[in-house]
Structure 1
Amino acid sequence: MSVLIAIALTTGILSGIWGWVAVSLGLLSWGGFLGCTTYFALQRDGIKGVGLSIATNLSGVFWAMVIIKLSSLVNLEIIGYVVTALVAFMMCAQAKKSWLSFIPGTFIGSCATFAANGNWQLVIPSLVVGVVFGYLMKSSGLWLHAKLAEKKTARAETDIPITQD
């Protein structure tokens, strides 16, 4: 089994479990998938990838709330556009810090917040648990691939005919 198929298999199984967890905990299932997407898109494995995914998603939530709050202070449509421009600049500029360097993760967190009408209290746990599920999907797929490869290697070693001269 290829790495891709192993990851696809574990991702499929864990996606179904995530759907159940999200409904059971009252989380946004689509928000969790955005967190999962952040982890997969980052292409940095392990706890460092989890941390960077969560940090950038949460910074995006923060920036979305800045846009929402500042845009609502003045009843001029143009203010919202100016605030959005300034904040989008900041969302990119913050990538100078290594722990906020994954700009797409920031925009994913921001978009999730806008999609949830600013309900950051629901977006945050949905994104965070989604990132953890992304980690589990990929790591369990890699584990499955390695186990199947070990089994295949062991089986091949026992199939070697021993000849006597």
Structure 2
Amino acid sequence: MSTLVAIAITTGILSGIWGWVAVSLGLLSWAGFLGCTAYFASPKDGLKGLLLSLATTLSGVFWAMVIIYLSTEVGIEIIGYVITAVVAFLMCVQAKQAWLSFIPGTFIGSCATFAAGGDWQLVVPSLVLGILFGYSMKASGLWLQQKLAKPEGNLVTAE
């Protein structure tokens, strides 16, 4: 079985489980899938990818709340756009730090927060669990592929 098919199988199974978990816990299933996406898109694999995805998506939640708060405080629409521009710049510049270097993760966290109307208390656990599910999807797929791989060199010969 190819690695892709193995990961597809475990991703399919865990996606169904995630949907049930999200509904059961009152979380945003779509935000969890954004978390899965962040993990799969991360340039790092394994635990490093997990931590990078967590750090960047959560920083995105923070930056979205900064935009929401400052834009609300100012109350002048055009200034809100200036705030958005400055914060988007900062979201990219923070990538100078290795642990915040995955810029798409930052924007995923920010967009999820905007989509949820600024309800960061709901977005954060949804993203975090989604990232954990993404990690589990890939790790279990790699495990499955390894378990089903045909060992080389064990050819049976007829005598």
TM-score range, shorter chain: over 0.9
Instruction: Return the alpha-carbon distance in structure 2 between the equivalents of residues 61 and 43 of structure 1.
Output: 20
Question: What are structure 1's unaligned runs of at least 5 residues?
Answer: none
The letter of the residue matching 1:58 is L
Structure 1 length normalisation: TM-score?
0.93
What residue identity is the alignment partner of 1:83?
I
Whether 2:92 is the aligned partner of 1:92: answer yes
Residue deviations 1:10-61, cap 9 Å, x none? Answer: 0000000000000011110000000000000004211111111000000000
The equivalent of 1:153 in structure 2 is: 151
Letter in 2 for 1:153: P
Equivalent residues in 2 for 1:1-16, closer than 5 Å: 1-16=1-16
> Which residues in structure 2 correspond to 1:24-43 (within 5 Å)?
24-43=24-43
Shift of 1:153: 1.9
Residue number in structure 2 paired with 1:69: 69
Larger-gyration structure (1/2): 1
Give, in angstroms, the shift of residue 75 of structure 1.
Answer: 2.2
Aligned 1:133-148 pairs, distance under 5 A: 133-148=133-148
Stretches (4+) displaced over 6 A? none
Q: 2:23 — aligned with what?
A: 23
How far apart, CA to CA, are the structure 2 residues paired with 1:140 and 1:75?
A: 49
Take 1:24 and 1:75, find their aligned partners in 2: how far apart are those partners? 38
* 2:43–2:102 Cα contact (<8 Å) kept: no
Aligned to 1:112: 112
Query: Are 2:60 and 1:60 aligned?
Result: yes
Q: Distance in 2 between the 1:141 and 1:83 partners?
A: 42
Structure 2 unaligned segments of length 5 or more: list them: none
Give me the TM-score of the superposition, normalised by structure 2. 0.97
